[in-house]
C-alpha cells in the first residue's frame, strides 16, 4: 500500500522533512525504443503519467561512465575548490540553493548551456579537475542524449498523427535551441539518521516541481530518491536503474499538446547512506519560439487551453517563481463562467 507523504513547505535555510516512502512503484511505463509499437506506448505513458523509462536507447555506456567519472572527480573536491566554479548565474556550480527565490535542498550541482559557448575554464583552477575532460565528456553525452530525445519526440508526433513528425524535435535541433544540461549530486545525509528514533523521516534533496522545457532526459546512478506525483495525489518512489533513462514531459510539451500530455511533478529525497548522482538534459526551444497548442490537436481555435507565449516570456516568468508553484497558471485561458 502506498501512503501519501506528509509535506512541509520549504523555507530558506531550513531542512524539509517528509515521512519516508518505503515502497517502490513498479508501474512506471517501460518503453523499448527498438520495438515498432513504442510510439503508441509513449503516447499512453505521456497521457497517464507524463513520465516513462526507456531501454535499448543507443546511448553508449562509455559516454555515461566517462561523464559520471568526471562528475565524481569534481564533486569529490573540497567545497572551497568547487566554489571557484560558481556562483551559478545561472551557469556554473551551485550548492544547496535552488534558483533565486529561497528554495533550498540537500544538493549541489553544475549547470551548463548546451548550445552557447560555456566557459569550462571556470573549472581550471580546481585541483585534479581538467576542464577539457569535462567539456568532452559533457559534449559526447549530450549529443547522444539529444539524438535520443529527438527520436522520442518524433515517435510522439507519429503516435499523435501529427505531420510533419519533426514538429517537436526541430525545436531541439535548432541552432538557437535553449537547452541546458545539469549534473546533480546529493551527498549522503547522516543528519537523517538522528531525526527520530524510528528513522521514519527523509530529507528533501530537490523539492517538488515540474520542468518548464519540452522534454527532460534523466539518468542517475543506482541510488534511490526520485519520486513522481500520481494523478491521485500520491507520491511514489521510482526504482533506480543506472542503465536506463527516465523521460519527463515538460510544461512546454503540455501546452503544445493542449493539456493532453501532463508535465509530471517530481522531487528527490536525500539518502542517509549513499550519494546520488544524476544527469539531466533539458531540451528547450529557441527563446523566440512561440509556444501554443498545435492546431491539429484542437477542435477549433476556441478549444485552446493556453494563451500563446514565447519561450523567453515563459522562462522569464518561471524564473520569478518558487519550485513548487504552478507556473502555467499565468498562461491558462480562463473559461467563461
Q: What confidence score (pLDDT) does residue 164 get? A: 93
Percent of the chain surpassing pLDDT 70:
88
Q: Pick the closest to residue 78 from 129, 112, 120, 130 (CA basis).
A: 129
Contact between 84 and 61 (Cβ < 8 Å):
no
pLDDT band at 333 (very low <50, low <70, confident <90, very high): confident
pLDDT at 105: 77
Res 192: pLDDT: 54
pLDDT of residue 291: 97
* pLDDT number for residue 22: 46
pLDDT tens digits along 221-251: 999 999 999 988 999 999 999 999 999 999 9
Active-site residue, selected from the candidate residues 219, 276, 322, 327: 276
Query: Is 260 a residue of the active site?
Result: no
**pLDDT at site 106:** 84
pLDDT band at 123 (very low <50, low <70, confident <90, very high): confident
Of 48-57, 75-84, 112-121, 242-251, least confident by mean pLDDT is: 112-121
Average per-residue pLDDT for the chain: 86
- Indicate if the pLDDT at residue 7 is higher than 50: no
pLDDT, tens digit, for every residue of 178-226?
999 999 999 987 765 444 433 445 678 888 999 999 999 999 999 999 9
Mean pLDDT over 306-314 rounds to: 95
Which of 81-85, 97-101, 277-281 is the least confident region?
Answer: 97-101
Sorted by sequence, the CB contacts under 8 Å of residue 123 that are 6+ apart come out as 74, 85, 129, 130, 131, 134
Confidence band of 20 (pLDDT split at 50, 70, 90): very low
- 3-state helix/strand/coil string of the chain: CCCCCCCCCCCCCCCCEEECCCCECCCCCEEECCCCCHHHHHHHHHHHCCEEEEECCCCCHHHHHHHHHHHHHHHCCCHHHHHHHCCCCCCEEEEEEECCCCEEEEEEEEEEECCCCCCHHHHCCCCCCCHHHHHHHHHHHHHHHHHHHHHHHHHHHHHCCCCCCCCCHHHHHCCCECCEEEEEEECCCHHHHHCCCCCCEEEEEEEEECCCCCEEEEEECCCCCEEEECCCCCEEECCCCCCCEEEEECHHHHHHCCCCCCCCCEEEECCCCCCEEEEEEEECCECCCEECCCHHHCCCHHHCCECCEEHHHHHHHHHCCCCCCCHHHHHECCCCC
Tens digits of per-residue pLDDT, 264-280? 999 999 887 889 999 99
Spell out the residues 6+ positions from residue 277 whose beta carbon is closer than 8 angstroms to its own: 68, 71, 72, 75, 183, 184, 185, 186, 220, 221, 223
Q: What is the pLDDT of residue 335?
A: 53
Instruction: Give the pLDDT band (50/70/90) at residue 23.
Output: low
Write out pLDDT tens, residues 155-173.
999 999 999 999 999 999 9
Amino acid at each position: 500500500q502506498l501512503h501519501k507523504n506528509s509535506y512541509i513547505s520549504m523555507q530558506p535555510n531550513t531542512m524539509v522533512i517528509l515521512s519516508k516512502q518505503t515502497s517502490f512503484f513498479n508501474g512506471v511505463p517501460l518503453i523499448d525504443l527498438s520495438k515498432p509499437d513504442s510510439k503508441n506506448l509513449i503516447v499512453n505513458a505521456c497521457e497517464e503519467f507524463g513520465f516513462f523509462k526507456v531501454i535499448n536507447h543507443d546511448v553508449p555506456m562509455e559516454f555515461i561512465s566517462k561523464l559520471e567519472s568526471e562528475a565524481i572527480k569534481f564533486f569529490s573536491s573540497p567545497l572551497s575548490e568547487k566554489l571557484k566554479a560558481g556562483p551559478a548565474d545561472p551557469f556554473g556550480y551551485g550548492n544547496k540553493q535552488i534558483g533565486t527565490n529561497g528554495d533550498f535542498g540537500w544538493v549541489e550541482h553544475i549547470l551548463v548551456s548546451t548550445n552557447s559557448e560555456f566557459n569550462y575554464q571556470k573549472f581550471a583552477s580546481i585541483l585534479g579537475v581538467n576542464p577539457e575532460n569535462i567539456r568532452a565528456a559533457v559534449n559526447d553525452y549530450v549529443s547522444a542524449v539529444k539524438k535520443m530525445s529527438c527520436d522520442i519526440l518524433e515517435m510522439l508526433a507519429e503516435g499523435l498523427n501529427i505531420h510533419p513528425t519533426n514538429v517537436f524535435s526541430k525545436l531541439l535541433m535548432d541552432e538557437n535551441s535553449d537547452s541546458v544540461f545539469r549534473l546533480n549530486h546529493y551527498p549522503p545525509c547522516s543528519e537523517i539518521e538522528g531525526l527520530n528514533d524510528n528513522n521514519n523521516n527523509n530529507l528533501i534533496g530537490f523539492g517538488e516541481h515540474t520542468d518548464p522545457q519540452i522534454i527532460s532526459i534523466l539518468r542517475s546512478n543506482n541510488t534511490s530518491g526520485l519520486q513522481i506525483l500520481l494523478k491521485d495525489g500520491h507520491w511514489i518512489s521510482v526504482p533506480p536503474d543506472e542503465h536506463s533513462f527516465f523521460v519527463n514531459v515538460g510544461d512546454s510539451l503540455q501546452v503544445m499538446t493542449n493539456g493532453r500530455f501532463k508535465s509530471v511533478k517530481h522531487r528527490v529525497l536525500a539518502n542517509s547512506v549513499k550519494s546520488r548522482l544524476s544527469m539531466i538534459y533539458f531540451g528547450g526551444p529557441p527563446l523566440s519560439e512561440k509556444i501554443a497548442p498545435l492546431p491539429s490537436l484542437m477542435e477549433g481555435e476556441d478549444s485552446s487551453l493556453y494563451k500563446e507565449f514565447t519561450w523567453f516570456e515563459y522562462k522569464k516568468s518561471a524564473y520569478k517563481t518558487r519550485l513548487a508553484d504552478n507556473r502555467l497558471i499565468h498562461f491558462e485561458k480562463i473559461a467563461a463562467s
